[in-house]
Structures are given as C-alpha cells and as structure tokens.
Structure 1
Amino acid sequence: MSVVPNVRGLLRSRPLPPARPAPGELLAEAEDLHVRLGAEPVLGGVGVRVRAGEVLALVGPNGAGKSTLLGALAADVPAAEGVVRLHGRPVSGWTPAELALRRAVLPQSAELAFPFTVEEVVRMGRAPHAAPPAKDDLAVAEAMAATEVTGFAGRPFSALSGGERARVALARVLAQRAPLLLLDEPTAALDLRHQEAVLRLCRERARAGDAVVVVLHDLALAAAYAHRVTVLHAGRVAADGPPAEVFTETLLSRVYEHPVEVYDHPRTGALVVGPRRLP
C-alpha cells in the first residue's frame, strides 16, 4: 500500500505561517514575569514588549537574566508567575509547530552530534514549513548568502571554526522566515566585520517588518543598531527605551559596577558607549 496519501495528509495538516505583521504590531510581550531556575529566582517582575519593525537589545551584566528572558519569550523557559504572549496569545496556547512558524531562536552555542553539512544545517530552518521545494531552496540560498556561508555549503558543520558555526546557525534562523527573531549573543564568536554584518542584518529584518530581540554584551553595538534597549540588572528591568535616552553614564556605571563613558562621536554625532579607562 502506498504511503504517499498519508504523507500528503500530514503536509496538509501542518499549520500555515502567520500573516505578515503590521508595522508596530505587538508580536511578543512579558508581563510581570517571574522565572526561577530550581529554587533560585532569576527574573522578578519583568515586563517587556516586542514590536514588528524594531530591533530590541537586551543588555546587562553577567547573570542579569538576559538569556533567561529571551528563553521565556521563546516559550523555552517556563514562567513561575506572570505571562508571556506571542501574537497576543499566551505561549502555552500555541503548539510547537505553530511556535516554529512564529519565532526563530538562535541559542548561544550550536553543537551537532551528526556530520551534517553546512547546507543541511541551514535547511533545518525550513522544517516547520510545508512549502514547495523551490521556495525552500530560495530561502536557504538567500540565508546563506546573507551570512556569507555559501562558499562552504558542502563542508561538515563540525569542521568549522566557532565564528563560522555562529554564522551558519544564524543562516538557519533566517531560513526559518519567522516574523520574530530571538538571538542570544549572535556576535560573541565573530570578528569585527562579521559583528557589524550581523547587526546590519538585524536592522534589515526589522526594516522588512520582522521583530528582532538580540542579547548583546557590546554596548557600542547596541547603541549603534538597536531601536530600543532593555537594561537588565539582578533579574529586573533597570531601564527601557531608545539608546539615546537609556544609555546614561550614571545608570550604566551603576548597573555594570564600573565607570562607563557615554558621548557623541565627534565626526558623526552617533552615540558612543564604552568603559572609562585610566590613562
């Protein structure tokens, strides 16, 4: 007996991708969010909103709760109290297949136990879709070109450097074509040129109508590319708003427990943020 009808039935039963969000549409929000890992409180009463067309940077010192908040927005970390909503619905109201069409997640590190090629890893981003092969091929090709990994498409993922793996992992996220991108330290393993390229990609995705939430340690990158920043400190929101309003020397020096300088670039007028160093 042929199994083709059953396969076709499974494909037809897959959920459809959501409609493209309207500019400024609320795609994700956390309200009075509390998260505990074991008995330890990690987030306490956090509120954040993520809108289509913006890059939101989550910044703060180590242990502030940035990755935990990102995981909660992705529905990967459960809330002890409060609520997380995606597209207006509590995350518990979405099936895994529906979530995969609505948000794409880049974890801090990407490890694979099997010898997949670069192209095969990127193609994993198409798994939630029941799309024609040509459409999958185009999405994969565009994602690989955007992250500059096309040249080693046939190489084993395990043979790549840390920076190359990070770019391939980002390509997988882009190939997923979800309207909400959740990126955890996407620039950590990258050189200066590729750090800038990744944040430009974030801006491009926001300009195209997506919402991008990115965890960053580099305050200068956040100041240059984020439309809005949420500063986390000890599991709570210390400030939220445009970088020009939120990034003050007083606030950042207190949160990071280190003197921070904030000034306008003498040539471009752009906001510059960095540690104050003794001569």
Structure 2
Amino acid sequence: MRNVQLRLVPARLAASLVPARPAPPPPASPGEVLAEAEALRVFLGGRPVLDGVDVRVRAGEVLALVGPNGAGKSTLLGALAADVPAAEGVVRVHGRPVSAWSAPELALRRAVLPQSASLSFPFPVEEVVRMGRAPWAGGDEAAEDDAVVADAMSRTEVTGFAGRPFSALSGGERARVALARVLAQRAPLLLLDEPTAALDLRHQELVLRLCRERARAGDAVVVVLHDLALAAAYADRVAVLRAGRVAADGPPAEVFAEELLSEVYDQPVEVLPHPRTGALLVLPRREP
C-alpha cells in the first residue's frame, strides 16, 4: 500500500485558494446597452428558430418581444440569458460575449423568469423568493436579504401566503412568487418569459407596472408578451418577430401598424386611439 502524505496548508494560503466572489456590475447609465444579439442564428432540433436577429436591450427601457406562436420569442429571450447557445452570431451581456462570463458573474447581471416554474420539494413561498438572493451570498449585500425579500413579496402581493408550500399554490400565485424571486435577485437585466400568461386582469397590470418601475429605476427589462394591448401600454420599445426574424423594432406607436400586424399574425387587426386617453389600442378586427 502506498504511503500518502498529507500536507497542511496555512489558513492564509487556503483562503487565497478559494475563488473570489465576483464583483457586481457598476450602475448602468441611461440608454446603456446591457444585452444585445448580432446576426444571431439558433437551431433547435436541426431546425432554424432564429435567423439573423439583431436586437439591443438598453438600461431604462422595457422591451417587449411579440409575435405569433413559433416566431422565436422565447428562444431569443433564452439566448439573451445565455441559456440557449448561438449557432452563429454573438450575444453580449454588459458588453462581453455571454461565453466570457462565469455562471456566478451572469447571476449578478441578469435574472430570468421562465414560462413555468416547478419545484420538486414543497419549499415555503418565502424560501422560494429567498433563492433569488443566492448570487449575493457571502458579500456585504447579504445583510439586506430579509428586507429585499420582504419588498419583493410585497410588490408582487404574495406576502399573505409566505409560509404556504409553493406546490400548493395556483398557477397565477406561482407566477407571482417566481417574479418575486426574480425581483429579489436585484440584477440590472430582467428577462421575463410570458409573465402575465397565468394571471388575472389585476395582476397582469401589476406585473407590467413593476416592469415599468424597474426600467424607470435604471434596469433593462425584456418581456415576452402575447397581449399586444399590454405591450402598447407599457413597453418603451417593441420587437415584432416573425418566422425567426425581426419584422419591426421601435416604439409601439411606430411599430404597431394595422398592415404589419395583420400580415404578421395572419389575422385582421385594427389599431385605434383610446376614446378617453388617446392611448394606443390594438384589437383583432371582428365582423359584426
């Protein structure tokens, strides 16, 4: 049997061998590009899902990704989150290719809300929200965990069932808890995939108001939406996707044109001013 020699490492040297906790990003300037895709192509199952997509996400704005089913909205969001690999082109977060960031570094820079949230264990709601604070563990910011978690739960109106198991919640309640986790992460780039899909009217409005609040506070928010009226009301900019390409990109007042939307959705659409406020209304054209 070979002799094995154990060497004791001095505590100071041992501490130096522990990977340093990554530093959070500095505050972004208004209009700064926090994420971008250039000439992005993505294949899933051997099929092109995104084909030559260019998009930029800026601090201080809500960018809505809209388009019919299968247009590539969720895939584009996943690529911006570094969860979906690019076959061609490049995706950057905070000015660097996503491949250049480690997972802990990315977790301090972007927070992701998937379409559905599920957990294998019956964690209490408060613990699920607290998972959003994991990127800050070990730093001075961890002292703020309790306050940040409480604030995120209050804003998403889930404080009332903080102690209930996540698995016992309705679909809409789970969606709001998942959003609270994302808010608790306090990343400057929020990537939200259909956050209003399971919500009632009141909470759809709540979620989009929160998106706008985060953007006004200096964050960049990308949100996948099917409701064009919500996109028109809350987004600063809209990217309309069709068959894996960007058909239009700009402010809702410029992008939401009847001819374009009717063609993209293969459904007659009318765009009207609200009779009281003048705000943009986007409706399917229905025969009397």
Check whether TM > 0.5.
yes
What displacement does 1:5 show?
A: 9.0
Equivalent residue runs for 1:44-193 within 5 Å: 44-129=51-136, 130-132=138-140, 133-193=142-202
Moved over 6 A (4+): 4-12
Equivalent residue in structure 1 for 2:214, among 186, 199, 205: 205
1:25-61: CA deviation from partner (whole Å, max 9, x where unpaired): 1100000000000210000000000000000000000
What displacement does 1:7 show?
A: 11
Q: Residues of 1 paired with 2:192 and 2:12: CA distance?
A: 38
C-alpha spacing 1:118/1:46, structure 2 compared with 1 (3 Å):
same
What displacement does 1:268 show?
A: 0.2
1:207-233: CA deviation from partner (whole Å, max 9, x where unpaired): 000000000000000000000000000
C-alpha spacing 1:151/1:44, structure 2 compared with 1 (3 Å):
same
C-alpha spacing 1:257/1:151, structure 2 compared with 1 (3 Å):
same
Q: Residues of 1 paired with 2:207 and 2:279: CA distance?
A: 19
Q: What is the TM-score normalised by the length of structure 1?
A: 0.96
What displacement does 1:20 show?
A: 1.0
Q: Residues of 2 paired with 1:114 and 1:30: CA distance?
A: 36
What displacement does 1:115 show?
A: 1.0
Equivalent residue runs for 1:213-228 within 5 Å: 213-228=222-237
Task: Note the residue ranges of structure 2 that are not aligned, 5 or more in a row.
Answer: 1-7
Q: Residues of 1 paired with 2:69 and 2:53: CA distance?
A: 17
Range that drifts further, 7-16 or 123-132 = 7-16
Equivalent position SS for 1:266: coil
Q: Residues of 1 paired with 2:114 and 2:18: CA distance?
A: 28
Equivalent residue runs for 1:240-259 within 5 Å: 240-259=249-268
C-alpha spacing 1:246/1:7, structure 2 compared with 1 (3 Å):
farther
Range that drifts further, 190-199 or 124-133 = 124-133
Equivalent position SS for 1:13: coil
Equivalent residue runs for 1:229-248 within 5 Å: 229-248=238-257
C-alpha spacing 1:159/1:8, structure 2 compared with 1 (3 Å):
farther
Equivalent residue in structure 2 for 1:262, among 251, 256, 271: 271
C-alpha spacing 1:10/1:193, structure 2 compared with 1 (3 Å):
farther
Q: Residues of 1 paired with 2:17 and 2:272: CA distance?
A: 57
C-alpha spacing 1:184/1:11, structure 2 compared with 1 (3 Å):
farther
Q: Residues of 2 paired with 1:91 and 1:170: CA distance?
A: 23
AA of the residue aligned to 1:45: G
Equivalent position SS for 1:127: helix
What displacement does 1:274 show?
A: 1.2
Q: Residues of 2 paired with 1:202 and 1:6: CA distance?
A: 45
Q: Residues of 2 paired with 1:11 and 1:202: CA distance?
A: 37
In the alignment, does 2:284 pair up with 1:275? yes
C-alpha spacing 1:147/1:61, structure 2 compared with 1 (3 Å):
same
| Matched residues, number | 277
Q: Residues of 2 paired with 1:226 and 1:242: CA distance?
A: 8
Q: Residues of 2 paired with 1:103 and 1:78: CA distance?
A: 16
Q: Residues of 2 paired with 1:179 and 1:7: CA distance?
A: 33
Q: Equivalent pairs: percent with the same residue? A: 80
Q: Residues of 2 paired with 1:83 and 1:118: CA distance?
A: 37
C-alpha spacing 1:267/1:45, structure 2 compared with 1 (3 Å):
same
Q: Residues of 2 paired with 1:109 and 1:247: CA distance?
A: 28
AA of the residue aligned to 1:265: H
Q: Which has the larger radius of gyration?
A: 2
AA of the residue aligned to 1:258: Q
